[in-house]
């Protein structure tokens, strides 16, 4: 909660209605440009709708004055005629309002879809370091909340501000025309309303911001709990998660109630000021009528126009708070849009490799520290080399840097020193998408999407035919168990593949890699968590997959890398030993030999 409040205070300091923030916020509205004709039409409809609404009190004044004039024996337009005009104006006002709402929703919903698409496209191209420093639940919740806030602003607030400004300007002009004296009396309360609006607006904005951040934290709890539901139930910690979520919701409620108290006090003051002003205006207007300086129709029209003007002022106070919230939301979206993205190609046709790698990979004195922990050098001086078709094994204790090498191979991060070469070319000189398109990874913890088995296998080649998918599954020793399901390849695997066993998930991941037909294959502890029967099937599938490919195998079970062409032993960020199994097992006091003895003893 303390972190959320620090974020609130920081945002409150930064998000002000100044020129710079206005300029950046307006940049969000560039998504309206393709639909500007509808935007212009909507503005015209706002103008006509507001004018017909503001004309109603004028004709009401004429109706009242005409009745009084006829009573006094003067010639005036018949009240029936004026009433018909008023009904006609109401019909026009209805049509203009309908057209205004339709045009605004049409272009704003299309613009918002473009905005959402643009933000998602930008986010998915961000580097791994961006996601490593943020919780996925918080990021997705914040993104959803901010875009919803912008949506509310664009669909409702924009039209209300334009209509409110028009009503305020025209309304003040009309009441000045009717009675300058009454207008001065009415406008005398504006400074008081503005001062109170600023004070309450600041408090409401802070509480709204805090409640929004706390709600985002609550959503993060839900997402993390559901993602780790297996651990929750395995540790019998349902009570803990319920308590954690309840405590977070309790804080949300407290902040919302405090916000409600302030909003209630503000609305109450506005209503008191508005109706108190109307009472005072009517009292003063009655005095002018007694002096024949104002007609009853003029007073009636003035009171109605005063209500319009007062309503616009009261609306502006609330819109001000909404505008502050929207600026905060647009600020975070703009920050996301400003993040440096990976140079990847999102055009499917352009992903086809301009050249095919042979599989030769070299690490030349590579040094690396994660950007989030620059003081900890993970790889201090690593040199290794693979030739086409070779099986390279990476072994060593936890934290030695094995997974970091994989991350550098995939281009998730850039080395701080040294060179990474593919076929003799520096990795930085090869388009990232072209590089990754010729690589595949089978991780220890396979993450399957929540769709069907077919969709998960086809992720390696989205345009694959059913025959290609089934052939890949057969090579991965997965076709038989898939065929036993009633729905076959259309079986839903569930969130993260929860409906399948570990061995089944591994074989689907292998089928996905086979379908991709990579030049370079990465196996990250692919069999470490399987039982003997599943391991045998998966290991057989992996042997088929590794044929004629350069393979990098991370393994804790040294028995799985006995046949590797070269084994690199990593320890404390450096390569301490390298060679075949037979060579390394002969090294006296070698790390590989000691690890092998330790595993044999168990």
Distances (CA, A) of 62 to 135, 152, 381: 65, 39, 91
**Segments of the chain scoring below 50 in pLDDT:** 1-15, 602
Asked if residue 426 belongs to a domain, the reply is no
Asked if residue 89 belongs to a domain, the reply is yes
Distances (CA, A) of 182 to 179, 236, 273: 5, 72, 16
CB 342 within 8 A of CB 435: no
Please indicate, yes or no, whether residues 321 and 197 belong to a single structural domain of this protein: yes
Domain membership of residue 500 as a residue range: 441-517
Query: Any idea which residue has 């968590």 for tokens?
Result: 529
Question: What local confidence, expressed as pLDDT, does residue 392 receive?
Answer: 92
State how far the Cα of 458 lies from the Cα of 441, in Å rounded to an integer: 15
Within a 10 A sphere around the Cβ of 232, how many other Cβ atoms?
17
Within a 10 A sphere around the Cβ of 481, how many other Cβ atoms?
17
Question: What local confidence, expressed as pLDDT, does residue 54 receive?
Answer: 82
Asked if residue 465 belongs to a domain, the reply is yes
Please indicate, yes or no, whether residues 275 and 158 belong to a single structural domain of this protein: yes
Please indicate, yes or no, whether residues 323 and 458 belong to a single structural domain of this protein: no
Residues 6+ apart with CB under 8 A from 514: 460, 472, 475, 476, 544, 545
Q: Which of 306, 323, 338 is the last residue of a domain?
A: 338
What token pair was written down for 516? 């991709």
Q: In residues, how long is the chain?
A: 602
- Collapse the DSSP code of 369 into the 3-class scheme (helix H, G, I; strand E, B; otherwise coil) and give the result: coil
Asked if residue 343 belongs to a domain, the reply is no
The total domain count for the chain is 2
Question: What local confidence, expressed as pLDDT, does residue 138 receive?
Answer: 65
Asked if residue 419 belongs to a domain, the reply is no
Q: Which of 282, 311, 338 is the last residue of a domain?
A: 338
Please indicate, yes or no, whether residues 330 and 450 belong to a single structural domain of this protein: no
Residues 6+ apart with CB under 8 A from 87: none
What token pair was written down for 48? 């006509």
Closest by CA position to 68, among listed 403, 254, 291, 292: 292
Please indicate, yes or no, whether residues 132 and 276 belong to a single structural domain of this protein: yes
Residues 6+ apart with CB under 8 A from 185: 280, 281, 284
Please indicate, yes or no, whether residues 330 and 447 belong to a single structural domain of this protein: no
Closest by CA position to 313, among listed 157, 206, 187: 187
Element (H, E) at 542: helix 532-546
Please indicate, yes or no, whether residues 64 and 184 belong to a single structural domain of this protein: yes
Asked if residue 564 belongs to a domain, the reply is no
SS3 of 240-279: the string is HHHHHHHHHHHHHHHHHHHHHHHHHHHHHHHHHHHHHHHH
Q: Which of 338, 363, 381 is the last residue of a domain?
A: 338
Please indicate, yes or no, whether residues 452 and 313 belong to a single structural domain of this protein: no
Per-residue pLDDT tens digits for 38-70:
888 888 888 888 888 888 787 877 777 777 666
Which pTM does this prediction carry? 0.69
Asked if residue 58 belongs to a domain, the reply is yes
Question: What local confidence, expressed as pLDDT, does residue 233 receive?
Answer: 75
Asked if residue 366 belongs to a domain, the reply is no
- Collapse the DSSP code of 310 into the 3-class scheme (helix H, G, I; strand E, B; otherwise coil) and give the result: helix
Per-residue pLDDT tens digits for 339-386:
777 776 656 555 555 678 888 999 999 999 988 888 889 999 999 999
State how far the Cα of 564 lies from the Cα of 550, in Å rounded to an integer: 11
State how far the Cα of 365 lies from the Cα of 420, in Å rounded to an integer: 9
Q: What is the CATH number of the domain that holds 80?
A: 1.20.1560.10
Q: What is the CATH number of the domain that holds 470?
A: 3.40.50.300
State how far the Cα of 259 lies from the Cα of 8, in Å rounded to an integer: 14
């Amino acid at each position: 909660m303390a972190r959320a409040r620090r974020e609130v205070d920081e945002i409150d300091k930064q998000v002000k209605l100044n020129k710079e923030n206005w300029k950046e916020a307006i940049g969000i509205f560039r998504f309206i440009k393709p639909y500007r004709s509808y935007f212009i039409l909507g503005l015209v409809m706002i103008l006509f709708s507001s004018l017909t609404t503001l004309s109603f009190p004028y004709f009401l004044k004429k109706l009242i004055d005409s009745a009084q004039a006829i009573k006094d024996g003067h010639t005036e337009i018949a009240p029936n005629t004026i009433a018909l005009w008023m009904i006609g104006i109401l019909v026009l006002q209805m049509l203009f309002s309908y057209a205004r709402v339709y045009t605004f929703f049409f272009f704003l919903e299309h613009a918002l879809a473009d905005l959402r698409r643009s933000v998602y496209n930008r986010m998915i191209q961000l580097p791994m370091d961006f996601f490593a420093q943020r919780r996925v639940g918080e990021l997705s919740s914040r993104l959803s909340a901010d875009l919803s806030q912008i949506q509310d602003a664009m669909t409702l607030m924009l039209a209300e501000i334009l209509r409110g400004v028009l009503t305020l300007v025209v309304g003040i002009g009309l009441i000045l025309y009717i009675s300058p004296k009454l207008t001065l009396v009415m406008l005398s309360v504006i400074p008081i309303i503005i001062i109170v609006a600023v004070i309450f607006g600041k408090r409401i904005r802070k509480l709204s911001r805090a409640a929004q951040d706390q709600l985002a934290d609550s959503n993060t709890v839900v997402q993390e709990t559901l993602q780790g539901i297996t651990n929750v139930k395995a540790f019998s910690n349902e009570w803990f998660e319920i308590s954690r979520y309840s405590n977070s919701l309790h804080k949300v409620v407290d902040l919302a109630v405090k916000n409600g108290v302030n909003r209630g006090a503000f609305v109450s003051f506005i209503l008191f000021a508005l109706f108190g002003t109307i009472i005072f205006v009517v009292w003063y207007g009655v005095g002018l009528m007694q002096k024949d300086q104002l007609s009853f129709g003029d007073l009636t029209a003035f009171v109605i126009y005063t209500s319009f003007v007062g309503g616009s002022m009261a609306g502006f106070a609330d819109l001000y708070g909404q505008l502050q919230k929207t600026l905060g939301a647009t600020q975070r979206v703009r920050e996301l849009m400003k993040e440096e993205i990976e140079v990847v190609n999102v055009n499917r046709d352009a992903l086809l490799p301009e050249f095919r790698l042979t599989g030769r990979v070299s690490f030349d004195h590579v040094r690396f520290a994660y950007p989030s922990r620059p003081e900890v050098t993970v790889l201090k001086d690593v040199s290794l080399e693979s030739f086409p078709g070779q099986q390279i094994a990476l072994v060593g204790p936890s934290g030695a840097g094995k997974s970091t090498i994989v991350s550098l191979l995939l281009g998730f991060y850039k080395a701080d020193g040294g060179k990474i070469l593919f076929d003799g070319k520096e990795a930085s000189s090869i388009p990232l998408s072209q590089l990754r398109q010729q690589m595949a990874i089978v991780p220890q913890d396979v993450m399957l999407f929540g769709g069907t088995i077919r969709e998960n296998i086809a992720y390696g080649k989205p345009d694959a035919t059913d025959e290609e998918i089934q052939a890949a599954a057969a090579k991965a020793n997965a076709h038989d168990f898939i065929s036993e399901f009633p729905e076959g390849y259309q079986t839903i695997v569930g969130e993260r593949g929860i409906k399948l066993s570990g061995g089944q998930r591994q074989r689907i991941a292998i089928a996905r890699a086979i379908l991709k037909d990579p030049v370079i294959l990465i196996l990250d502890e692919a069999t470490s968590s399987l039982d003997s029967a599943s391991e045998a099937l998966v290991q057989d599938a992996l042997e088929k997959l590794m044929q004629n490919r350069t393979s990098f195998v991370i393994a804790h079970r040294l028995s799985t890398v006995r046949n590797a062409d070269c084994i690199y032993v990593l320890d404390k960020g450096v390569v301490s030993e390298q060679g075949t199994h037979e060579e390394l097992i002969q090294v006296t006091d070698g790390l590989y030999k000691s690890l092998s003895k330790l595993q044999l003893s168990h």
